[in-house]
Structure 1
């Protein structure tokens, strides 16, 4: 199956507390976005990538990709107001022959080619799959300050990206949500709402999403621990 990855990089990253959007902050000497694209491009199962960025950043991202010699870039398009809108813009920019599509957060640069290949293989076989890790902590549902219930940890996963789908399944789920006026920050939940079963592929805890300054410190340490060098 011809396979593309939509890389969502249109967010403002307000929780980082920086004047620079988080996807452009440096990780081991290169912008986080570039590190993410390098990881995805290294996966042999990925044929093409569509980057979704803010309209004001499109030329800058074009320059970054050229300077860092990023392969497999098929399109760089402007995102929408919400994440769901941005993914829909990415879907519109897919190549006509694409049958399998993954969606990945630009702020997850530590994903491995093996993880990408595993979630793509699961989606290729079953139609829809997401990467995730079992929760380590006990989770309680709280209203106000009062605990309502303790959820069974053995059944709970923290969801990561990439998430991968047969193209027709993801497009139909987005269309269904759009017509209903819905909104979601998770593509797998849109597919679930459309009645499609999603397979969970267990990934690595190192595939963290860089959201806060603490996350960036941890990501730098993890990058050094795996022996990578600045390119």
Structure 2
């Protein structure tokens, strides 16, 4: 199932406390952004990548695209003050229909098989997200006091990519823009229109790199994948 993908990459990453865009930090000798871009660059189903960036990073990012031979990036568009604004800026450059994914550029461990299942589900239903069942007991808290223990079986931790028919996502973003609504994710905008959103189960490795501690988990995931690959080749 062919698709395009939007990667919002304009965040300042304040929680990473790196003093620069966290996507430009190196992970195993290569910038986080390049790890993520390579997933889509090497996926034959991906027909194009749109990057929403901060202008101050454009020169460095352009250099990385050239250095690592990332050829599927269609263009760089200016990011906005919020992630939602960045995605809308990117979405407005898309002139075709079909399937589009929105993926956090700080999630470099998404698997190609999960991407394909997600894109296929979005083609069938119009909107699909990826996530994993909640592991922990969940409690609703108010003013520092537990109000109730939430039934866990129906709770999922939502990740990205999220996949949509382009026409549906554009309609959702246009409505949100008109009504000055800021959602928690792309699916929340689509849900406001009354469209059902399907979910595809992913895996727990698909973490978002947000804090310095996450880099330790990222190194461990890379090492695990390296060992698995060596095992398959043995």
2:51 corresponds to 1:45: no
Runs of 4+ displaced beyond 2 Å: none
2:57 corresponds to 1:84: no
String of CA shifts for 1:37-68, please: whole Å, max 9, x gaps.
00122222211000111121122211111111
Change (3 A) 1:221 1:2: closer
Q: Which moved more, 1:147-156 or 1:162-171?
A: 147-156
Question: 2:111, 2:43 → 1: CA distance?
Answer: 8
Q: 1:117-156 residue pairs with structure 2 within 5 A?
A: 117-156=116-155
The Cα shift of 1:2 comes to 5.0
Question: 2:71, 2:27 → 1: CA distance?
Answer: 19
Contact 1:130 1:188 (C-alpha < 8 Å) held by counterparts: yes
Q: Which moved more, 1:107-116 or 1:51-60?
A: 51-60
User: SS at 1:140's partner residue?
Assistant: strand
Contact 1:3 1:46 (C-alpha < 8 Å) held by counterparts: yes
Contact 1:123 1:166 (C-alpha < 8 Å) held by counterparts: yes
Question: 1:199, 1:140 → 2: CA distance?
Answer: 25
Give the total of aligned pairs: 228
Q: Partner of 1:211 in structure 2?
A: 210
Contact 1:3 1:98 (C-alpha < 8 Å) held by counterparts: no
Question: 2:175, 2:103 → 1: CA distance?
Answer: 21
String of CA shifts for 1:109-139, please: whole Å, max 9, x gaps.
0111111111111101110000100010011
TM-score, normalised via structure 1 length: 0.95
User: SS at 2:153's partner residue?
Assistant: helix
String of CA shifts for 1:143-192, please: whole Å, max 9, x gaps.
01111111111000000000000000000000111101111230011101
String of CA shifts for 1:73-96, please: whole Å, max 9, x gaps.
1111111111110000110122x3
5+ long unaligned stretches in structure 2? 230-234
User: SS at 1:222's partner residue?
Assistant: helix
2:208 corresponds to 1:177: no
String of CA shifts for 1:184-221, please: whole Å, max 9, x gaps.
23001110111100001000100000001111110011
The Cα shift of 1:141 comes to 0.8
